[in-house]
Amino acid sequence: MFLAWKEMRRAKARFGLLIAAVGLLVFLILFQQSLQNGLLTSFTGALRNQSAEVLVYRTDGRRILQASVISPDLTEMVGQDPSVAAVGRITQGTFSVTPLALGADAEPLETSIIGFELPDLGGPRFLTVGRVPANTEEAVASEVDADGGFAVGDVVRIEPGGKQLTIVGLARDAQLNVAPTLFVTYDAYRAALVSRNPDAGAPLPNALGIRPAPGLTADQVAAAINTLSPELDALTRDDAAEQAPGVAQVRQSFRVIFLLYGFVVPLVTGLFFLIITFQKAPALTLLRAIGAPASRLVASLLVQVAIVLGGGLAAGVGLYAALARGRIGGVTLRFETTAVIVWVVLLSVGGLISALFSARRVLAIDPYSATTGAGVGR
């Protein structure tokens, strides 16, 4: 410990820069993790956090809620299946909505509106404040849009037509397609369509929300429904969010980034200490020649590695905690505790393993080399 601390005090700038570099890399890893999760939540949060355990799409809709249209005969077929306890129609569309709370000059926003027939089969699952809509004049908004004119008590107007909805509740992580999202009753959705187009008829559901029969799991019900017709595509709630178009590609892209960052931190740490070991080879050889045990020199090296990794991880996590609470565009960032724990463990283990190459060089020192001027690895 004495040797390790003494050397670090004499080379403050060198070790300080390494700690800063590790801290910055750790921050970037954790920030990217939050960005990935926030982006996916903004894309599919409304699917993951709606109340139906199973969602049924039309196959040709390719698991895009707005592109799927369920015909009455398919709805009846699903409702008659013994594995199904209840069916609720769900419809979704994109509307131009003006938040009136922002004033007369407010610009219309492209907003996803989801209509549900039954609150427990397609309505918002987690309300942070307020209640579910009870009539055609009310809506629940995503809580991340509250500051944009979608807070409880605010009124929004559908353009054109002027249909107005009052926000009566806020739901957690309930955005769809990285846009403001409203949950309304099925009749309210029809009224919104008529407001925009007076000739619009009754909307067909884009999906069906399913409650499994007693004793059956969501996976079992989804499998049973998929056997009814090749036109039906039933998914559990989580699968509907995970298998939405684009989600796999986003995860794969971020996975490559994480893999690269995961290699960089141990590589930087390992190369730094390996270079340091070569540079101070004469001093290490002399210490061995006067009787310093190899174990003590290796322990000193590992202490330095632990201090550098610990300082870098602490700096990175601290910076991440300070900045990972806000929004980037329509994406909400949050502090990911699980991600912090996982990455701290992985990077600590990787850094210590990379330091073993330097430790091996230290162990290879021949004390006799002090009489010839040779050093480590020569």
Strands 84-99 and 109-116: antiparallel
Cα–Cα distance for residue pair 236/186, rounded to 1 Å: 22
For helices 294-323 and 247-279, give the axis angle rounded to 10 degrees: 140
Percent of the chain with pLDDT over 70: 86
Domain count, the chain: 2
CA distance 309 to 269: 8
Give domain status of residue 378, yes or no.
no
Give the C-alpha separation, 265 to 19, whole Å: 11
Whether 122 has a pLDDT exceeding 80, the answer reads yes
214 preceded by cis ω (within 30°)?
no
The least confident of 139-143, 212-216, 367-371 is: 367-371
pLDDT at 378 > cutoff 50: no
Domain that holds residue 7: 2-43+247-371
Q: Does position 133 have pLDDT exceeding 90, yes or no?
A: yes
Q: Which of 239, 270, 285 corresponds to the end of one domain? A: 239
Whether 138 is covered by a domain: the verdict is yes
pLDDT at residue 100 greater than cutoff 80: yes
Of 229, 219, 234, 305, nearest to 268 (Cα)? 305
Q: Does residue 277 sit in the same domain as residue 192?
A: no
Average pLDDT, the chain: 85
Average the pLDDT over each of 7-16, 141-150, 306-315 and give the range with the smallest value: 7-16
* pLDDT on residue 171: 94
**CA–CA dist 98, 142 (Å, integer):** 15
Do residues 281 and 190 both lie within one domain? no
pLDDT at 285 over 90: no
Distance CA 243, CA 263 (A): 29
pLDDT of residue 324: 77
Please give the average per-residue pLDDT across 178-206, as a whole number: 89
pLDDT at 377 over 60: no
Domain boundary, last residue among 223, 239, 255: 239
How big is the chain, counted in residues?
378
Rounded CA-CA distance 109/51 in Å is 26
Dihedral sign computed on CA atoms, order 332, 334, 339, 344: positive
pLDDT tier for residue 2 given thresholds of 50, 70 and 90: low
- Identify which has the larger pLDDT, 288 or 255: 255
The verdict on 182 and 256 lying in the same domain is no
**What integer pLDDT is reported at residue 38 of this predicted model?**
86
Q: What residues have CB less than 8 Å from 23, skipping those under 6 apart?
A: 311, 312, 313, 314, 315, 316, 319
